Amino acid sequence: MKLQLVPARTGALWVRLGMQTFFKQPLALAGLFFMFMALMSVATMIPLVGLPMAMAALPAMTLGLMAGTREASQGKFPMPLILLSALRAGPVKRRAMLVLGGMYAAGFLCAMGVSYLVDGGGFARMYLGGQAPTAELLNSGDFQAAMWTFIGLHLPLSLLFWHAPALVYWQDLPPLKSMFFSIVACLRNFWALTVFAALWMGLMVGVVLLLSTLSALLNSPDLAGTLLFPALLLVATMFFTSLYFTYRDSFEMPPEAAPAGP
């Protein structure tokens, strides 16, 4: 395995490839993403153990979406079972992916727990959907401190796991080594990932502004609320589609896993 360095402009290429690949197989990739969301949502509804289970499953589910993207980029139609690729790859990879998921869940819960200590759980309840955000809550100094504490702890956690599931699945690396190479690749390709993240954030903000403006021009206050959720889901689907390309261009892939597409 060899780390590949890419210029900052590659971040824009990843965004474009994510969109192009999505529109090659929009029904299949949207279906995979909605299945992913449904499985995660159902898991979080289980009392006490639901959230840890969902977080532990996140690396494996993300790998399934990346595998679906790889199929779509090669002109194939990804079937629903591809979402479970990480768990159907044999006992060694399955065990490694479960270990990876357990470590991610532990890290996420620790970050959330620290934020809970900062503001008494206000941010945690809102983030996890247990409390509706209010202006008073959002303007609270304790809430904002908890939010930035969580972001500060979760960002390095995200970098550790950004490429880790793909490295376990396609490069046969053990969990700890995959996390090490993941954060090294993210730091070495920092500017490309910064451009990548900034463009996706800009696209999401642009969608919100466009729908809000359209709603105001048509004097239809409910229009933005009706269209906003499905529009953001569409953008989120294309974002997850683009994740595969951040991995593909950051590492030299083994011949049997090398993509045939662009």
Q: Given this model, what pLDDT does residue 128 score?
A: 81
Please check the confidence at residue 130 and state whether its pLDDT lies above 70: no
Q: For 153-210, give the DSSP string.
A: HHHHHHHHHHSHHHHHHHH---HHHHHHHHHHHHHHTHHHHHHHHHHHHHHHHHHHHH
Please check the confidence at residue 261 and state whether its pLDDT lies above 50: no
Q: Distance (Å, rounded) from C-alpha 252 to C-alpha 4?
A: 7
Q: How much is the average pLDDT of 206-229? A: 81
Top pLDDT among 185 and 130 is at: 185
Q: Distance (Å, rounded) from C-alpha 18 to C-alpha 235?
A: 10
Contacts (Cβ under 8 Å, ≥6 apart) of 257: 170
Q: How much is the average pLDDT of 55-71? A: 96
How do the domains of the chain map onto residue ranges? 10-257
Least confident interval from 81-95, 115-129, 198-212, 218-232: 218-232
Which of 201, 202, 226 shows the shortest CA–CA distance to 212?
Answer: 226
Q: How much is the average pLDDT of 58-76? A: 95
Summarised one tens digit per residue, pLDDT across range 10-42 is: 999 999 999 999 999 999 999 999 999 999 989
Q: How much is the average pLDDT of 113-142? A: 83
Which of 161, 135, 129, 126 shows the shortest CA–CA distance to 247?
Answer: 161
